[in-house]
Structure 1
Amino acid sequence: MFAFRLGVVVLLSLLSGCETVATRPAGHLGEISADAAVAAATFGPGDRLWRLITAGGRLYVDASDDHGASFTRPVPLNADAERVLAQAEDRPVIAVDAQERVYVLYAVGTPDAATSYLSVSNTAGRSFQAPVPVSDPAKASGHTQDAMVVARSGRIYAFWNDDVDMGAARAEKQGAGLYFATAVAPLAAGLPNRKLTNGMCNCCRIAVDVGVDDLPVVFGRFVFRGSIRDHGMLKVSPAGLVGPPWRVTEDEWRIEACPMHGPALSIAPDGRYHAVWFTQGRRRQGLFYAHSDDQGKHFSNPMAIGEARKLAQHADVLAAGTGVVLVWKEFDGRQTHILSMRSANGGDTWSAPSAIARTSSDSDYPFLIKDSSGIFLSWNNAEHGHQLITIR
């Protein structure tokens, strides 16, 4: 975990109660706190940019109507500092629905237990309801990987990994359970949660997107027989699983440890699934991209991404119409670079890789977000702070 230098303008805003943080250079979102190493961002209605910052055991949400040149006063979610579980591979999540309700999903751990909480703002981010638990308490070491999507209907789906009820599966090293909760606003005092499946690789992030049928699809690393850690998918409705999970990758990565390197998924308006993942398997090694036109049952031949000698890692993918963008990290021995590839025909052909950002400091994973004008890189690093960079 790295630390950012203190953002004086934001700190003064918090102390004075003023409503707008000072204007910043284009693309530079600034810093909120000395330890705000983990940030998440998304766009909502009206192309408003929403940002979630974890700092000092508190969570803050702010917003920008000018692509990060200025921000509203950060609004705290939790009243007191807590042991919020926030790291690059396992982080709090923010989502915004069509009515500009803002949802935040995060986990709090103690030495004995961890619980995921959901907080919602019905006032367009000006205030948040008290967080409500969505998971049962579990061992902190076994409760990981919060993920969340809001369907077009407005229904929210929250997911997480948990080994609270593994029994014999834990002894046989068959992975953790995947749980979910779902609701439609306004939220009740607590949300019932259910197990979807066993066999999840507990330390790898979960990727979730909503399909053309308005149901979420989960893409994650599973633990298959023989400690093979390849990827699988499953579809979920409000009632639970829509059929059993199915295997997607056949890389044959046998490892008795967690890679801490989850995949990414984006489902285009035409229904094409775009997936990226990392493997060190017997059949292939490195970062890969593939797409599917039959709801994830079959994928195109995997396309290698990046340079293995530069440690290509932690890719993200995002589709907008027939346009698709890939981003990932590489390290050349001195600097970390964010590279990008673009496709204008739904992933059939791709541009050559191009470097779009770099830093000599510690940095977060790269993430892609979109509004009506295009696709953007959202990236945090200690040298430049939180950046929003136009890609297309």
Structure 2
Amino acid sequence: MSKNLFPKLPSKALLLGALGCVVSALSWAQMDHSSHAGMMMPAKPTACTSTSLDCANGATPFLTTDGRLLLAWTAGGSVSVAQSDDMGKSFGPAVIIGEHGKSLDTGADSRPQIVADDRGNVFLAYAFFKDSNWNAQINVAQSSDWGHTFSTPRSLVNDGSSQRFPSVIKRPDGSIFIAWIDKRLVAQAKKSGHSVLGGSIAYAFSNDGGDTFSPERIANESSCECCRIGAANDPQGGVAIIYRAIFPGGVRDHASQIISQTAMGKVQRVSHDEWKTDACPHHGPTIAVSGSGKMHVAWFTQGKARSGVFYANSNNQGATYSKPIRIGKEGSNVSRPYLLALGSSIWLVWKEFDGINTTIYLQQSSNDGKTWSTPKQLSQTNGYSDHPLLINKGDLVFLSWLTRADGYQLIPLNSNP
């Protein structure tokens, strides 16, 4: 059972039903998040096929400025959304947006993406597989009534190749940024008789809440095909992204870029881990940008130069990065780092698995990453769990975590200043 060092929220309401039968082997294979060499496996998801939150594989939160919590999740082959007016203590009726069965993309780095404005306009994105070759389509849907009803899901782009792993953020000006892994260049090369590794990083902006998007652009033609993209707003007006790129020689190290609606920044290498692999790690990075514009990043690697989960930062928009610092103890099974920046306050959480229990740890920096607090245990479970996420309402920071034992939890990490 989960153990929280912070006050635990009361149990969550049942939204759509009870537990069902066994999750298919295909679904587990898609979302296995610790199948990297040298890493122990956590528990598989408990038997469950209902579309309810109790059976969710992964849940993505969004907090509006007035305290509404919108939660999107995948369960039972469907994508659902529900709203909470009491910070996750209870939820209203769930709305099923898309039903795709075993074709729904519930891989380790795949999760529905949700953002909203303060007028009740909600934007949702998710992916599903179009065929048995793992070619995917990103669907988007919108709501104008706080998620009580949604438009019929439609494809984000008209290209017929594969698009997967959407990453969505709302900009301070109200626009929406979306990035994804796109395989149109791979498909074009294949038609020409050439073989190309991985995929590409593509992106687009919307200035009308997701009704329309700017023509998609390719930020990097060569990226890993199976790792989430980290994205964060940059106070200088752009969006900072980080992703697992493919460098010459098949090296899968990380890169960052600054992107705006009018310019696409240079691809900047985060570190020289020298991880040469043709495998699919399914273990993407995270990024946060502080009020000073300092970029904070964390990632997983199994390179020749270093192996494990690491943190670094950049004072010059990614032109150079600090020396990577290991997250967690060397030799421990660390995964899924996630960063949040508020002014000069930086928050970092991650998972550790000891063969029995999965534990969430927190480190916090109050001086823009110059020094960090001692790691602190936040929560623990001995069953299946989703990745830890961080969200905020003003200066209040919360850990968003889903476990099969305790359901969805929104755990406060600080109090009003």
Give the alignment of 1:207-246 within 5 angstroms: 207-239=230-262, 241-246=263-268
Q: What code does the residue aligned with 1:200 have? A: S
1:332-376 deviations in Å (ceiling 9; x for gaps): 121111111111111110111111111010111111111124211
Q: What code does the residue aligned with 1:41 have? A: P
Alignment equivalent of 1:183, drawn from 206, 217, 224: 206
Alignment equivalent of 1:127, drawn from 149, 155, 164: 149
Flag the 1:279–1:114 CA change in 2: closer, same or farther, 3 A: closer
1:301 aligns with 2:323: yes
Does structure 1 retain, via aligned residues, the 8 Å contact 2:239–2:259? yes
Give the alignment of 1:240-259 within 5 angstroms: 241-259=263-281
Alignment equivalent of 1:311, drawn from 333, 339, 343: 333
| Segment drifting more, 47-56 vs 128-137 | 128-137
Structure 2: gaps of 5 or more residues: 1-11, 19-50
Alignment equivalent of 2:353, drawn from 327, 331, 335: 331
**Correspondence for 1:384:** 406
Flag the 1:175–1:78 CA change in 2: closer, same or farther, 3 A: closer
**Correspondence for 2:52:** 32
**Correspondence for 1:45:** 65
Q: What code does the residue aligned with 1:185 have? A: D
Flag the 1:307–1:138 CA change in 2: closer, same or farther, 3 A: farther
**Correspondence for 2:106:** 86
Distance across 2 between alignment mates of 1:80 and 1:343: 42
Does structure 1 retain, via aligned residues, the 8 Å contact 2:226–2:280? yes
Does structure 2 retain, via aligned residues, the 8 Å contact 1:50–1:63? yes
Distance across 1 between alignment mates of 2:266 and 2:243: 14
CA RMSD of aligned residues (A): 2.5
Q: What code does the residue aligned with 1:107 have? A: A
Distance across 1 between alignment mates of 2:376 and 2:196: 41
Task: Tell me by how many angstroms 1:83 deviates.
Answer: 3.0
Distance across 1 between alignment mates of 2:124 and 2:168: 9
Q: What code does the residue aligned with 2:112 have? A: P
Alignment equivalent of 2:93, drawn from 73, 81, 90: 73
Distance across 2 between alignment mates of 1:333 and 1:177: 35
Flag the 1:246–1:383 CA change in 2: closer, same or farther, 3 A: same
Q: Secondary structure at the match of 1:165?
A: helix
Task: Give the TM-score, by structure 1 length.
Answer: 0.86
Structure 1: gaps of 5 or more residues: 1-6, 14-30
Alignment equivalent of 2:16, drawn from 7, 11, 21: 11
Distance across 2 between alignment mates of 1:377 and 1:251: 29
Q: What code does the residue aligned with 2:62 have? A: T
Q: Secondary structure at the match of 2:165?
A: strand
Task: Give the TM-score, by structure 2 length.
Answer: 0.81
Alignment equivalent of 2:287, drawn from 265, 287, 311: 265
Flag the 1:125–1:233 CA change in 2: closer, same or farther, 3 A: same
Q: What code does the residue aligned with 1:160 have? A: W
**Correspondence for 1:21:** none
Distance across 2 between alignment mates of 1:267 and 1:100: 27
Does structure 1 retain, via aligned residues, the 8 Å contact 2:256–2:268? yes
Distance across 2 between alignment mates of 1:12 and 1:251: 46
Task: Tell me by how many angstroms 1:190 deviates.
Answer: 7.5
Alignment equivalent of 1:196, drawn from 175, 198, 219: 219
Flag the 1:138–1:257 CA change in 2: closer, same or farther, 3 A: farther
Alignment equivalent of 2:79, drawn from 47, 50, 59: 59
Q: What code does the residue aligned with 1:203 have? A: C
Distance across 2 between alignment mates of 1:187 and 1:342: 34
Does structure 1 retain, via aligned residues, the 8 Å contact 2:77–2:99? no
Flag the 1:209–1:145 CA change in 2: closer, same or farther, 3 A: same
| Segment drifting more, 226-235 vs 292-301 | 292-301
Distance across 1 between alignment mates of 2:291 and 2:118: 17
**Correspondence for 1:116:** 138
Q: What code does the residue aligned with 1:35 have? A: C
Q: What code does the residue aligned with 2:67 have? A: D
Alignment equivalent of 2:165, drawn from 145, 153, 172: 145
**Correspondence for 1:25:** none
Q: Secondary structure at the match of 2:66?
A: helix
Task: Tell me by how many angstroms 1:270 deviates.
Answer: 2.1
1:138-170 deviations in Å (ceiling 9; x for gaps): 45xx53211111111111121111222224489
Distance across 2 between alignment mates of 1:90 and 1:188: 23
**Correspondence for 1:18:** none
Does structure 2 retain, via aligned residues, the 8 Å contact 1:114–1:138? no
Q: What code does the residue aligned with 2:235 have? A: V
Q: What code does the residue aligned with 1:352 have? A: T
Does structure 2 retain, via aligned residues, the 8 Å contact 1:274–1:289? yes
Does structure 1 retain, via aligned residues, the 8 Å contact 2:123–2:141? yes
Task: Tell me by how many angstroms 1:34 deviates.
Answer: 5.4
**Correspondence for 1:160:** 180
Flag the 1:175–1:12 CA change in 2: closer, same or farther, 3 A: closer
Flag the 1:143–1:345 CA change in 2: closer, same or farther, 3 A: same
1:276-317 deviations in Å (ceiling 9; x for gaps): 111122222211111112112122222111124221111101
